[in-house]
Amino acid sequence: MNKNNTIHFMKMHGVGNDYIFVDTGLCVVPDPQAAAIAWSRPHMGIGSDGLVLIGRSTVPEADFTMRIFNADGSEGLMCGNASRCIGKYVYERGLTDQTRVRLLTASGIKVLELAINPDGTVGNVTVDMLAPALEHETQFRPDGEPLPDGVFVSMGNPHYVIFVDDLTAVDVAARGAQLEHHPRFPERCNIEFAQVCPDGIHMRVWERGSGITMACGTGACATAVAAAVTGRCGRQSRVVMQGGTLDIDWREADNHVYLSGPATFVYEGDVALP
């Protein structure tokens, strides 16, 4: 299916969290780890936060599948922003006519609810991110080298949320890189720095395997949960990041976290295999 050793790709982003998407029904990526590293490089590649493979599900409980590879080639478990982009892709490319899409990820099946614009394009997408888990239920070492005060939350992948008084004073690159590899995080960790403001929770993120990104969907969910459990906010909040704003609703009825926001198509093209 690959012509002249090239792959057809789409570049899409969710509030600035940008990925290279490949529809594996059209093209095969033999070594996605190597491709993620090569294609994600700024200036020398396409430039992105990672690579996402879209597949057709072979189990009846799901419609499509997602595999995600970070910019360093490591395979991720879940990405809220990338999953919204997949919802947009499969609907607008005619792969489904359903506005409720079940997406199989490494952290379980996520249900996407698509809001359709009058022109037939996909507007906001709401993702059921399932129930959050706190540190005693996750891969987290409770003892050992001290951590700065924060809240550990898993949204299918690990996050450590640190609330600060002045977000602009935080050296996200230095502190994020250090904490990602902290010995109390055996599988590494996504690190969020957050400040509660009148217009929402302002957050910056260091993603494991990718570094600083303009937004992080699971990180926004983890930050909203952390703010709620520490009494800083209610169960509904807006998380403001460099790339835009996401709406989070941690519902009492089912304990699930619902993530809502836009998905944006940037461009598509062909790229050589590494």
Which tens digit of pLDDT belongs to each residue from 131-174?
Answer: 999 876 566 777 778 899 999 999 989 999 999 999 999 999 99
pLDDT tens profile 93-121: 999 999 999 999 999 999 999 999 999 99
Answer yes or no: 233 catalytic.
no
216 a catalytic residue: yes
Residue 61: what are its φ and ψ, rounded to 5°?
-75, -15
What mean pLDDT is reported for the chain?
Answer: 95
**Please, which pLDDT band fits residue 2 given cuts at 50, 70 and 90?**
confident
Tokens 């997406």, located at residue: 103
Q: What percent of the chain lies above the pLDDT cut of 70? A: 97
Nearest CA to 154 out of 106, 214, 195, 112 is that of 106
What pLDDT is attached to residue 138? 60
Q: By C-alpha distance, which of 195, 214, 197 is closest to 206?
A: 214
| Burial class of residue 227, CB neighbours in 10 A (0-12, 13-18, 19+) | buried
Q: Tell me which of 79, 85, 221, 233 is the catalytic residue.
A: 79
DSSP state of 221: H
**Could you tell me the fold of the domain covering 133-250?**
Diaminopimelate Epimerase; Chain A, domain 1 (3.10.310)
Could you tell me what percent of the chain has a pLDDT over 90? 91
Q: How confident is the model at residue 248 (pLDDT cuts 50, 70, 90)?
A: very high
Tally Cβ neighbours within 10 Å of residue 67. Answer: 18
> Sorting pLDDT into bands at 50, 70 and 90, what band is 87?
very high
Query: Residue range 237-265: average pLDDT?
Result: 97
Residue spans of the domains in the chain: they are 6-130+261-272, 133-250
Tens-digit pLDDT profile for residues 183-235: 989 889 999 999 999 999 999 999 999 999 999 999 999 999 999 999 999 99
Superfamily of the domain at 6-130+261-272: Diaminopimelate Epimerase; Chain A, domain 1 (3.10.310.10)
Q: Same CATH topology for 6-130+261-272 and 133-250? A: yes
Structure tokens at 189: 């960790």
Residue 169 is classified by DSSP as: G
Strand 151-154 to strand 200-207: parallel, antiparallel, or no bridges (unpaired)?
unpaired
Task: Convert 162-178 to b/e letters by CB count within 10 Å (16 or more is b).
Answer: bbbeebeebebeeebee
- Of the candidates 85, 189, 216, 233, the residue annotated as catalytic is 216
Confidence of residue 181 (pLDDT cuts 50, 70, 90): very high
The radius of gyration computed from the CA coordinates of the chain, to the nearest angstrom, equals 18
Least confident span in 2-16, 60-74, 75-89, 114-128: 2-16
Helix (H, G, I), strand (E, B) or coil at 222: helix
Output the pLDDT for position 136.
60
DSSP per residue, 90-129: HHHTTS---SEEEEEETTEEEEEEEEEPTTS-EEEEEEE-
